[in-house]
Amino acid sequence: MNESQKAFLDGVRAEIPLLIGVFPFGMIYGALALNAGLSVFASQMMSSIVFAGSAQFITAQLVQDSAPGFVIILTIAVVNLRHMLYSASLAPYLKHLSTKWKFLLSYLLTDEAYAPTALHYEEKGVTSNGHWFLLGAGISLWTIWQVSTALGIFLGARIPEELPLDFALPLTFIAMLVPILKKRPMIAAALSAGTTALLAYSLPFKLGLILAALVGIIVGTVLERRIFPKGML
Amino acid sequence: MLIGGLITFGLRFSLIYLFGRFEVPETMRRALHYVPPAVLSAIIVPELLIRDGSVSLSLENIRLLAGIIAIITAWVSRNTLLTILTGMAALLIIGWL
């Protein structure tokens, strides 16, 4: 097995725990979208074309409320603003790639593909085949998202209440976050972001998440400057 | 829907593309290291603490309890699979008690 294949499989492997949590969401989305009045085709295509969980849920809701098209589009844009942060964060590691690769990887850049990839890149630095990791994580997520949406559309969301599979998602994020909290600026970034997220929870369209992320990033960067003023990090 | 897809793609592509063409300033590069912890924490904390639309710090919030157990497990073991299994088991057991 060559290095690229290995990186690809590492990406798939890192994504697996997230897939468990994503699966019920896909099914719920499929059932909801159909219920909201989207056609079978439109419901499935949303998952293939837009490929962004929270934006899809909100779109289904807006369609049900018969919101005008430009409101839906504007909402999708705001809800997905956070992806610009992800885009910026991964850019240094994908710099050397061709535009074709950048196109493909951007399309696959969801929250769940971003998280394991960002941590992998932080650990390994810039490598010549790191993009295969993101491809592995992204494609496995994409596939599961299509399958779970289809199941939700055709079966309805039949997930037993006693099996809270959706909790696998925050648990995986916990497993990713805790090990990187080594230096004080990192801890401060996480704490301030978490607190802000709570305070700003009532903001619509995931704006609370963006605000919280920005606060965390600023706190971390400012503290790093204080503690390691000459770029010792 | 197509437009929604295009916008989503555009947002994801924007900075990967721009930062590929221009040199990223040093401060910006440092700041970007804090995107993962900040984003992860901003996702996790409300997941654990917000129940039915408001902050719940009580012992009845079983997701918070299971989450704390998962955080401790992650801290001690640094093992993803073990953290998820322990957190899931904790949620089921506490919920069942």
The pLDDT value recorded for residue A20 is 87
Model confidence band, residue A233 (pLDDT cutoffs 50, 70, 90): very low
Phi, psi of A65 (to 5 degrees): -80, 10
What is residue B79's three-state secondary structure? Answer: coil
CA distance B34 to chain A (A): 5
Cβ distance A81 to B11 less than 8 Å, yes or no, reads yes
- The per-residue pLDDT for range B41-96, each reduced to its tens digit, is 988 998 899 887 788 888 888 999 999 999 999 999 988 888 988 998 999 998 88
Q: Which residue has the tokens 């897809």?
A: B5
In B, which residues are within 8 Å of A62 by CB distance? none
Model confidence band, residue A230 (pLDDT cutoffs 50, 70, 90): low
pLDDT at residue A176 tops 60: yes
CB-CB: which of A92, A169, A213 is closest to B29?
A92
**Closest chain A residue by Cα to residue B27:** A221
Kindly report the number of other CB atoms within 10 A of residue B25's CB atom: 9
Phi, psi of A205 (to 5 degrees): 55, 35
CA distance A3 to chain B (A): 23
Cβ distance B91 to A167 less than 8 Å, yes or no, reads yes
pLDDT at residue B17 tops 50: yes
Kindly report the number of other CB atoms within 10 A of residue A61's CB atom: 15
What does pTM read for this prediction? 0.81
**Closest chain A residue by Cα to residue B44:** A170
A218 touches B at CB < 8 Å: yes
Cβ distance B34 to A107 less than 8 Å, yes or no, reads no
Q: For residues A145 and A51, is the Cβ–Cβ distance under 8 A?
A: yes
